[in-house]
């Protein structure tokens, strides 16, 4: 067995020491490590581009072999879902628009008022122990670290690294990811549905000609039925002919109750959880399928009311610890192609011009 | 000056960096999509461990630190962390001749697979040590097993390439 030469021993020690120093600098958020990565990227990106072109047939063949059955099954399922959702989407769009108008009227922030940048996902994380993807837009498009990322379904993650023309997104499932969220719960006792849509149509059109047109909306999310009205709660003027604007108020017991908590990722094999939910009497028993939306706030990196997912499981805990909710994400993180980055920064991080 | 430049360009470490760049290109493109059993093949780890298994602990450690640092530059984990892990396991793989006097190719392949598994399990542990917790889960054993099996299969293909890459040239 050859003895390690002093020269190589020095080289090993030097490299190991360099690595330790780099780890320390990176953990301290030093700009020098970003510079090292950026310089390496200058040399590596062309090589990666060539590798991408050369290996594309191989990856296509692999996807064709391994995913064919899944794709056909998914295609069939999607066709069914599209048919189901077509009707509901119209009502939902109208409801969302109405909600945005109301928010704007009251001077409250809405998602529609936030500029966004669309980007294409160009790569997954090259590691088994990181949940991130790379996109083809960067600081030149106004993207900054911390900005929330969405796809058509809902929240996907947040920006963690930004370069000139690319950025890295940390996905919701990464154990490092945490976000303040709201659970919109509709306790069982307060659930109300439109029993007879035709009756409701007659009632609302005769008494409140302007307000609502009932539509047969269906949603699997309790408490989130866009466009639906609550017939028992309609307060109308006795004489419909009188031109007094009537008010439609849902009964107090029918209102969805919101409670905040913290969403945390747990890796790709486990669903994210929401913790620190208060067990208040008013909040009631949390229903499966209750929607989870971002909480917003002056310190939160995401604006309020971005759809994150639904409650799939409630793990009750003893004492005042509160339940832990397992979340089914609405966004399919395994198949991201295009994403939207909200150019949103909390008030506390906005710099004065 | 020109001789010195030629010596640097012809050295085994320059070749390692160039081969490492190509492997890293493959790692970040095709292999990030091809994930057997949901696990990513670890080519950079394979390079380091193979270098150790063929050329011994010192060359292994140096190779591991270099390719690990290159790998670090495309990861989101702290820069230098993968370098330490790959360097460490490559050094470990280089200790094979202490136990087997003249290891055959399959001896080396088994050592490569074994140390690939150890390296893959050390990644989340190292992340946890730097405060990036949450990855030490039962899943890491599955990941390590799959990576070990794939690297066992790839080792006979990669060994001649690494032997050529790290061959001591006359000029270098």
Residue spans per domain, chain A: 32-108, 111-186+256-349, 188-254
pTM, two decimals, is 0.68
Buried b (16+ CB within 10 A) or exposed e, A46-61: ebbeebbeebeeebee
Is it the case that residue A96 has pLDDT exceeding 60?
Answer: yes
Tell me, what's the pLDDT at A220?
47
Between chains, do A267 and B28 touch, taking CB under 8 Å as contact?
no
Please give the residue of chain B at the shortest CA–CA distance from A174.
Answer: B134
Tell me, what's the pLDDT at B158?
94
- Fill in the DSSP letter of residue A245: P
CATH number of A111-186+256-349: 2.40.10.340
Question: pLDDT band for position A333 (50/70/90)?
Answer: confident
How near does any CA of chain B get to the CA of A305, in Å? 27
> A276 and chain B: CB distance < 8 Å anywhere?
no
Please give the residue of chain A at the shortest CA–CA distance from B19.
Answer: A47
Both tokens of A212, joined, read: 């609502």
Chain A residues touching residue B34 (CB < 8 angstroms):
58-59, 62
Chain B residues touching residue A265 (CB < 8 angstroms):
134
Both tokens of A248, joined, read: 């439609």
**Window B:109-138, CB contacts with A under 8 Å:** 120, 123-124, 127, 130-135, 137
Phi, psi of A249 (to 5 degrees): -120, 125
- Which residues, at least 6 apart from A44, have a Cβ–Cβ distance to it below 8 Å? B21, B24, B25, B70, B73, B74
Cα distances (Å, whole numbers) of residue A86 to A79, A289, A296: 11, 21, 30
Query: H or E stretch including A168?
Result: strand A167-171
pLDDT tens digits, one per residue of A124-181: 887 888 889 999 999 999 999 889 999 888 899 999 989 888 899 999 999 889 898 9
Chain B residues touching residue A50 (CB < 8 angstroms):
25
Query: Which among A91, A66, A294 has a CA at the least distance from the CA of A179?
Result: A294
Please report, in angstroms and rounded to a whole number, the separation of the first and last CA atoms in chain A: 67
Query: Which among B109, B140, B103, B105 has a CA at the least distance from the CA of B125?
Result: B140
- Domains of chain B, first to last: 2-165 (1.10.1760)
Between chains, do A51 and B76 touch, taking CB under 8 Å as contact?
no
Chain B residues touching residue A41 (CB < 8 angstroms):
73
Is it the case that residue B81 has pLDDT exceeding 50?
Answer: yes
Mean per-residue pLDDT of chain A: 76
Chain B residues touching residue A160 (CB < 8 angstroms):
76
**Window B:50-79, CB contacts with A under 8 Å:** 56-59, 61-62, 65-66, 68-79
Tell me, what's the pLDDT at B116?
94
Question: pLDDT band for position A106 (50/70/90)?
Answer: confident
Buried b (16+ CB within 10 A) or exposed e, A115-146: ebbebebebbbbbbbbbbbbbebbeebebeeb
Is it the case that residue B115 has pLDDT exceeding 90?
Answer: yes
pLDDT tens digits, one per residue of A214-224: 444 444 444 44
How near does any CA of chain A get to the CA of B69, in Å? 8
Question: pLDDT band for position A239 (50/70/90)?
Answer: very low
């Amino acid at each position: 067995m050859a003895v390690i030469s002093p020269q190589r021993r020095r080289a090993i020690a030097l490299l190991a020491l360099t690595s330790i120093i780099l780890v320390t600098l990176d953990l301290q958020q030093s700009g020098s490590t970003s510079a090292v990565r950026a310089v390496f990227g200058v040399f590596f990106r062309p090589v990666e581009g060539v590798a991408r072109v050369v290996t594309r047939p191989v990856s296509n063949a692999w996807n064709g072999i391994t995913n064919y059955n899944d794709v056909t099954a998914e295609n069939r399922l999607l066709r069914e879902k599209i048919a189901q959702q077509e009707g509901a989407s119209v009502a939902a769009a109208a409801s969302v628009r109405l909600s945005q108008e109301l928010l704007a009227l009251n001077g409250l922030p809405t998602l529609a008022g936030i500029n966004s940048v669309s980007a294409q996902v160009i790569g997954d994380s090259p590691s088994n122990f990181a949940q991130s993807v790379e996109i083809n837009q960067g600081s030149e498009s106004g993207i900054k670290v911390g900005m929330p990322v969405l796809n058509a379904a809902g929240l996907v993650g947040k920006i963690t690294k930004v370069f000139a023309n690319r950025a890295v997104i940390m996905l919701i499932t990464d154990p490092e990811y945490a976000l303040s969220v709201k659970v919109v719960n509709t306790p069982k006792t307060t659930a109300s549905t439109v029993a007879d849509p035709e009756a409701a149509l007659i009632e609302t059109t005769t008494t409140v000609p302007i307000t609502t047109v009932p539509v047969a909306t269906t949603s699997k999310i309790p408490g989130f039925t866009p466009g639906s009205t609550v017939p028992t709660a309609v307060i109308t003027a006795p004489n419909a002919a009188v031109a007094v604007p009537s008010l439609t108020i849902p009964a107090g017991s029918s209102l969805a109750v919101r409670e905040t908590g913290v969403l945390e990722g747990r890796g790709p094999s486990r669903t994210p959880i929401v913790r620190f939910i208060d067990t208040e009497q008013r909040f009631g028993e949390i229903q499966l399928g209750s929607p989870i939306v971002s909480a917003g706030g002056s310190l939160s990196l995401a604006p309020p009311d971005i759809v994150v997912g639904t409650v799939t499981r409630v793990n009750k805990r003893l004492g005042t610890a509160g339940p832990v909710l397992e979340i089914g994400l609405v966004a399919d993180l395994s198949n991201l192609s295009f994403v939207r980055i909200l150019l949103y920064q909390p008030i506390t991080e906005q710099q004065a011009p | 000056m020109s001789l010195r430049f030629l010596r640097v360009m012809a050295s085994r470490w320059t070749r390692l960096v160039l081969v490492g760049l190509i492997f890293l290109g493959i790692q970040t493109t095709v292999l990030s999509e091809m994930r057997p059993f949901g696990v990513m093949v670890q080519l950079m780890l394979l390079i380091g461990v193979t270098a150790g298994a063929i050329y011994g602990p010192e060359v292994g450690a140096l190779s591991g630190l270099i390719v690990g640092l290159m790998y670090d530059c495309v990861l989101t984990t702290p820069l230098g962390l993968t370098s330490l892990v790959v360097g460490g396991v490559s050094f470990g793989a280089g200790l094979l001749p202490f136990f087997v006097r003249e290891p055959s190719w399959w001896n080396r392949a088994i050592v490569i697979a074994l140390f690939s598994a150890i390296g893959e399990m050390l990644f989340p542990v190292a992340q946890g040590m730097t405060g990036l917790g949450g990855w030490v889960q039962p899943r890491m054993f599955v990941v390590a097993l799959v990576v070990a099996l794939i690297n066992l299969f790839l080792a006979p293909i990669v060994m001649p390439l690494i032997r050529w890459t790290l061959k001591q040239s006359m000029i270098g």
